[in-house]
Every structure is written in C-alpha cells, then in structure tokens.
Amino acid sequence: MFTGLIEHLGTVTDIVHDAGGCTLVIADSAPILGDCHVGDSIAVNGACLTVTEFDKQEKGGWFKVWLANETLDRTDLGERKVGDQVNLERAMGAHVRFGGHFVQAHVDTTATIVDKKPDGDSLRILFQLPEPTPERPSLLQYLIPKGYVAIDGTSLTITSVDDANRTFGVMLITHTQEKITLPKKPIGSKVNIEVDMVGKFVEKSVQAALSGGGGPLRSLVEKVVEDVLVKKGLVQ
C-alpha cells in the first residue's frame, strides 16, 4: 500500500529487454534505500515493483527491478530511456502519517497529456483516456471532480471531468511541480493512471446486490425504492 506522496526522483541508468519483460536499474536513489531489503516494494512512476538487487552507495544508491510484460503493457515504463527521471515511493509504513489516498500502485491504464496551461504559479494539465475496449472498459465512472486519482504514482485531486471527450484535469501547485516528473512531460506524453479503488469496491457491491445477490445492501435499495413509490402514490 502506498500514499501517492512521492518521496524522491530516481534516474534510469540501465534497461535490458528480453522476451519475458524488462529489467530497470534506477540510480540516484540513496534517500529511499536506507531501510531497503531485497524483496521490498517500491512504486516506480506509480507501478509497484519488487527490488531484486540494490547498492546504497554506488551511483548515488541504485536498485534493480523486473517488469513483466503485463506491466509493460499497462504502463509507460517500457518507454523510459536511460537518463529519464522517475517518481519513487516506498511502501507505506504503519507508523507514518497518511497524507495522500489509498494507492495500490496497480496501474489501470495510461492516459495522454492533451493540454498544459499556467494558472498563476500553478499548472493545469488535461489528460485524455484511451477509447474503451471489452478488455479495458472505461474508467470515467471512477473519476469525479474533487475526487482522487494517482498519476505516475502521485496522489492528485481531480479538478474537471468531461465524459464526452474522455478527459479530466488536475492542478499542480508550485511545491508539487518541484517534486515530481509530471510537469516536465510534454503534450502527447503518456502517464500512468490508477483510479480510486474505493469506487471499484462500491461499484462491485452495488452490482452484486442489484443482480440478485441478496444481502443487506439489496434490502436497503429495495426499501429506498419502496419508499419513493409510496411517496409518489404508485403503491400503498
């Protein structure tokens, strides 16, 4: 579990592709490696990856992760190049403040930056989701104004949603712009998107109740419908 509060920016120093996936080495990462162990989880641009090797001192501190083809297909990590910076966050500790929102670092899809506009010292960025497919349904139902979304692993508040154009927007204050990679990405770049998992749980629970699964939620919905019909005089 992660919070979406980026701890550090690392630098990609080595990339090795093969038929099974890809290995990344991320350097300049010493500030997050002090308590690192092989097998730990680190979110890289919002994707939860397992540390397979690391060194706390060489190259400013580096660690190696393995990306399966599923991860390469779901994220923008396969497009990273040597020298690119990436957002890094360690898995949340039970003793720390929870400042962002519940982030699993299980990327749902990528979106494309379609517009960037300064707004005073802040920066407004507009994203477009891909066309939905049977394999990858639309995520728009999980995006609401003032709701949460994780973009490249960063917990951000949604400022606008346009269902017809499959777009949504966020605003970055100056502090956030200095701590993450997103402001440096040009229009046309891809970003990793993880929608709020709470919305997914609510949707599944409602679907189960309304499909005849029974349980307290179905009873509650039936009671609400009955009350509305009574108030309209349609039943007695």
Catalytic site positions: 2, 41, 48, 50, 68, 106, 157
AA letter at 221: V
The Cα-based distances of 197 to 14, 148, 169 in angstroms read 32, 10, 19
Place of tokens 């966020």: 170
DSSP notation for 113-171: EEEEEEETTEEEEEEEPPPP-SSS---GGG--TT-EEEETTEEEEEEEEETTTTEEEEE
Strand partners, 25: 14, 64
CA dist., res. 76 & res. 165, Å (int): 22
Strand partners, 67: 22
Pairing of strands 154-162, 21-27: unpaired
**Residue 57 · residue 30 · CB < 8 Å:** yes
User: Which stretch of DSSP H or E encloses residue 221?
Assistant: helix 216-231
Strand partners, 89: 43
